[in-house]
């Protein structure tokens, strides 16, 4: 596996180190843009393993975090044989959704920044509230305090219940984990 954990630069962040193989590059001799989405996913899963719980435990409970939005800004290209570090952290948590932020670097050089938003869904693709105990821990990891304050996307801790939502609470999520949108920006605005 080409991805390996690296030392985290700060609390509540995880960093994955990756040496770029030739097959990830394109005809212009740079990493093809589609690979950056894979890098984000691998870094997010490493973050969950390190700070929350392994994603497979959510899956065992019939829950998934589907990607609902993505923003990726390319600043400099990565190339064959570069060692890149993908650092991620939890930016905010709501009842059903959360946002992860990312930096991709080659040494000290910032290559790209990104954000992904995810909604918890059940096996039928229906939005579900993040379980209260999980959400409380995630709120702390996001630096949002104990969950009682409404900062950076917080909506307070969930009320008791089965975790189902009425239509007024459900985020815009398409069934079966299909992403709803993606925004890609470059430094030139193209």
pLDDT tens by residue, 6-36:
444 457 999 999 999 999 999 999 999 999 9
> Which one is catalytic: 26, 49, 52, 91?
26
Considering the domain boundaries, does residue 190 fall inside one? no
Residues 110-151 have pLDDT tens digits of: 999 999 999 999 999 999 999 999 999 999 999 886 544 334
- How many Cα neighbours within 13 Å face the side chain of 51? 26
Give start and end residues of each alpha helix (H) in the chain. Answer: 33-51, 55-60, 132-141
Per-residue pLDDT reduced to its tens digit, 49-100: 999 999 999 999 999 999 999 999 999 999 999 999 999 999 999 999 999 9
Question: In 3D, which of 176, 187, 136, 186 has the Cα closest to residue 157?
Answer: 136
* 26 catalytic per annotation: yes
Domain containing residue 102: CATH number: 3.10.129.10
Assigned domain for 148 exists? yes
Residue 36, domain extent: 3-185
Q: Tally the domains of the chain.
A: 1
Q: How far apart are CA 103 and CA 85, in angstroms?
A: 8
Classify residue 94: in a domain, yes or no. yes
pLDDT digits (tens, 9 = 90+) for 142-177: 988 654 433 444 433 333 344 445 444 445 544 344
Q: Whole-model pTM?
A: 0.74
């Amino acid at each position: 596996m080409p991805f390996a954990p690296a030392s985290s630069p700060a609390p509540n962040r995880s960093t994955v180190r990756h040496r770029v193989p030739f097959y990830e590059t394109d005809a212009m001799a740079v990493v093809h843009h589609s690979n950056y989405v894979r890098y984000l996913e691998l870094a997010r899963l490493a973050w969950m393993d390190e700070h929350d719980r392994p994603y497979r435990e959510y899956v065992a409970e019939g829950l998934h975090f589907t990607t609902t939005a993505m923003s990726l800004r390319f600043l400099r290209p990565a190339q064959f044989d570069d060692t890149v570090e993908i650092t991620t952290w939890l930016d905010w948590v709501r009842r059903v959704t959360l946002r992860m932020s990312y930096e991709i670097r080659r040494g000290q050089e910032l290559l790209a920044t990104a954000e992904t938003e995810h909604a918890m869904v059940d096996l039928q693709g229906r939005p579900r509230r993040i379980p209260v105990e999980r959400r409380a821990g995630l709120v702390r990891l996001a630096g949002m305090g104990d969950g009682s304050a409404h900062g950076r996307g917080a909506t307070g801790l969930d009320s008791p219940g089965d975790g189902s939502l009425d239509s007024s609470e459900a985020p815009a999520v398409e069934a079966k984990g299909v992403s709803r949108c993606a925004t890609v920006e470059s430094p030139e605005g193209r």
